[in-house]
């Protein structure tokens, strides 16, 4: 990898006095000094964070060679940076950025090189959504930790801090210096379609403690954590990706519930906060989403909560921010509201030119723009990007997926698996008494980094523990013939483990489990349910004898569930959310804090 100085020396027309990181007085690299020398176009570029397709900074995307040209008007990441002088790039799996750790490090270095070669070249703040659990962009061999609600079930600040520290080290080794995590939303609505298990739980104080601990871990690793989604997305039945959620909390309820984790994140020194595309009339009755609300972003977040770090929007291609204004108005209004970074606008050229025009015609003052650019530059300075913009390929191999990190993830997962129900008791199962197992059920689209469908992963893990386990995928909506096939297969085993995924009262998954229980009851063979996403599934399965909650269907959580089923580890997780009765949602079936252990 060429040194920083070598790259600069090879770049014609770049003088030391005008280049970040070049030799010279410290004032040449001071954010205020840098800001004073930037053109208006360069300033506008710094507030944008864009996607770009492909796994190389200098070659078109190999999967879709025309993707960048069609959406961004360029062929490569290098051309994108040359045209817009962007302050940030976000990595996505679907943009074909994240093939492997070494490739990611090369991509990150290529992006930095392309940006630094520009006149007054600035390092790029590279980001991604690596929440762990259900939402990850970088998969195996990187270490995948349990997701937020699983961490909430473990209840350990030390585990949350460890997750942030080790995950942060791995992201930093690949050149990713801003992670859009942790989720600071308090999930008090079981029907929430977009947050759910991405939240630590339903108790604001417990969520606050874990949010703060994870932020501390990321800071220790030199990565900017991002608490999201301000002012709180936990009580909605609408997904802001596809609609415009309305939060009906009063100001008093917001203060006591939603605000608590964000206050804790700020106290822990969180580097950035992400806004939500939600309407909260008690905080701003204008009808604007929080992302575009000056009363919320400036009035509450900046002035009341005293936050002076970087504020980033949620993605600007989401429906929640586009229902009231056009794509040319949204970025301008976000900046006027007090936001600093504009994340992934659907049409970058439209958004860029809209901000440029707004400053030139006086709608948005250059002084206001300077505030945001200065915050972004100061964050880059704090993260060490001016002095060390590149990463070492050797460090990737030593850090990403390190044996100690993988072991820590397994140990944390063992502290999160929650035993909700165990009549008999049925669990643990033993290879001596129940040698033949059938593992069937839902196989939703696998999160990034999993080795296969949940049934396959569970079967492999149980086989490794001494069972003869067979996997049979029945899907999230099994057809009648699939149910018949499952019932036939169940007749030849000693116990059945069913992976369930968001079971509803009228779902075919529920029918499958009920018929299995009815068939096997006469033989005394047990049916064990494993809720692989929402723990609320147990309320729809009153006929099962045992039920576990894993809160996600990643390998690390499924392997831990297998060890609990086999009794090689004790179930230690406690519900971080209440589970209401299916027949009467006003009554609680299992309260927050519920979790059984084995009686030895």
* DSSP assignments along 318-341, one per residue: SGGGTSSS-TTTHHHHHHHHT--B
d(CA 350, CA 341): 16
Q: Which of 30, 64, 239, 241 is catalytic?
A: 241
If one counts every other C-beta atom within 10 angstroms of the C-beta of residue 584, the result is: 9
- Confirm if 70 and 76 have CB atoms less than 8 A apart: no
> Packing angle between helix 480-490 and helix 508-521, nearest 10 degrees?
30
Cα distances (Å, whole numbers) of residue 201 to 14, 42, 386: 51, 41, 38
User: At 580, phi and psi to the nearest 5?
Assistant: -85, 160
The answer for residues whose C-beta is within 8 angstroms of residue 203's C-beta and 6 or more apart is: 186, 576, 592
Question: 132 catalytic, yes or no?
Answer: no
The answer to whether residues 303 and 317 touch, using CB atoms and an 8 Å cutoff, is no
Residue partners of 139: CB distance under 8 A and separation at least 6: 93, 98, 447, 448, 449, 450
Distance (Å, whole) CA 426 – CA 40: 68
Which of 314, 340, 410, 537 is catalytic? The answer is: 314
Chain centre distance of CA 591: 26
Place of tokens 């915050």: 375
Greatest Cα pair distance, the chain, in angstroms, is 83
Integer Cα distance of 233 and 321 in angstroms = 14
φ and ψ of 148, to 5 deg = -60, -45
CA-based torsion, 557, 562, 568, 569: positive or negative? positive
Q: How many residues belong to the chain? A: 600
How do beta strands 588-590 and 579-580 pair?
antiparallel
What contacts 24+ positions apart, CB below 8 Å, involve 295-300?
A: 296/230, 296/231, 296/337, 297/337, 297/338, 297/339, 298/337, 298/338, 300/231
Kind and range of the H or E run holding 403: helix 403-414
Cα separation, 316 vs 334, in Å, equals 10
Query: Is residue 555 flagged as an active site residue?
Result: no
Between the CA of residue 276 and those of 232, 279, 297, 374, what are the distances in Å?
Answer: 7, 9, 10, 23
3 state DSSP class of 582:
coil
Active-site residues, by number, are 241, 314
């Amino acid at each position: 990898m060429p040194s920083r100085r070598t790259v600069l020396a090879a770049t014609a027309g770049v003088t030391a006095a005008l280049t970040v990181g070049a030799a010279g007085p410290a004032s040449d690299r001071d954010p205020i000094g840098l800001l004073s020398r930037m053109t208006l176009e360069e300033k506008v570029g710094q507030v944008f964070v864009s996607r770009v397709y492909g796994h190389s900074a200098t070659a078109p995307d190999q999967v879709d060679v025309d993707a960048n040209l069609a959406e961004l008007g360029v062929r490569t990441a290098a051309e994108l940076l040359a045209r817009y002088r962007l302050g940030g790039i976000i990595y996505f799996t679907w943009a074909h950025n994240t093939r492997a750790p070494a490739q990611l490090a090369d991509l990150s270095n290529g992006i930095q090189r392309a940006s630094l070669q520009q006149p007054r070249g600035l390092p790029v703040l590279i980001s991604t959504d690596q929440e762990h659990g259900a939402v990850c962009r970088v998969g195996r061999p990187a270490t995948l930790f349990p997701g937020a609600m699983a961490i909430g079930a473990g209840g350990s600040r030390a585990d949350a801090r460890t997750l942030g520290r080790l995950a942060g080290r791995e992201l930093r080794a690949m050149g990713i210096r801003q992670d859009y995590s942790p989720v600071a939303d308090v999930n008090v609505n079981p029907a929430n379609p977009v947050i759910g298990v991405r939240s630590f739980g339903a108790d604001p104080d417990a969520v606050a403690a874990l949010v703060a601990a994870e932020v501390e871990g990321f800071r220790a690793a030199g990565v900017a954590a991002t608490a999201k989604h301000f002012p709180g997305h936990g009580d909605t039945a609408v997904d802001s990706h596809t609609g415009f959620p309305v939060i009906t909390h009063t100001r008093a309820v917001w203060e006591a519930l939603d605000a608590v984790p964000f206050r804790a994140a700020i106290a822990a020194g969180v580097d950035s906060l992400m806004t939500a595309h939600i309407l909260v009339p008690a905080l701003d009755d204008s009808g604007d989403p929080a992302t575009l609300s000056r009363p919320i972003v400036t009035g509450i977040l900046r002035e009341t909560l005293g936050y002076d770090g970087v504020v980033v929007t949620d993605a600007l291609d989401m429906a929640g921010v586009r229902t009231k204004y056009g794509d040319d108005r949204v970025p301008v209004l976000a900046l006027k509201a007090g936001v600093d970074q504009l994340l992934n606008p659907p049409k970058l050229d439209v958004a860029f030119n809209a901000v440029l025009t707004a400053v030139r015609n006086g709608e948005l003052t250059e002084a206001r723009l300077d505030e945001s650019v200065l915050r972004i530059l100061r964050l880059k300075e704090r993260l060490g990007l001016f002095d060390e913009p590149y990463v070492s390929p050797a460090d990737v191999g030593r850090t990403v997926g390190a044996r100690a990190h993988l072991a820590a993830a397994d140990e944390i997962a063992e502290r999160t698996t929650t035993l909700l129900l165990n009549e008999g008791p049925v669990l643990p199962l033993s290879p001596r008494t129940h040698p033949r197992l059938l593992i069937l059920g839902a196989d939703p689209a696998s999160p990034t980094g999993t080795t296969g469908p949940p049934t396959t992963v569970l079967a492999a893990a149980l086989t490794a523990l001494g069972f003869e386990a067979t996997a049979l995928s029945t899907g999230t909506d099994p057809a009648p013939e699939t149910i018949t096939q499952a019932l036939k297969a169940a007749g030849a085993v000693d116990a059945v483990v069913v992976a369930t995924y968001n079971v509803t009262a009228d779902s075919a998954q529920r029918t499958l489990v009920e018929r299995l229980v009815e068939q096997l009851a006469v033989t005394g063979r047990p049916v064990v349910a494993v809720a692989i996403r929402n723990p609320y599934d147990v309320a729809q399965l009153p006929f099962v004898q045992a039920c576990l909650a894993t809160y996600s269907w990643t390998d690390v959580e499924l392997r831990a569930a297998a060890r609990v089923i086999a009794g090689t580890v004790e179930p230690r997780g406690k519900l971080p959310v209440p589970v209401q009765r299916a027949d009467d949602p006003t009554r609680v079936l299992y309260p927050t804090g519920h979790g059984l252990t084995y009686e030895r």
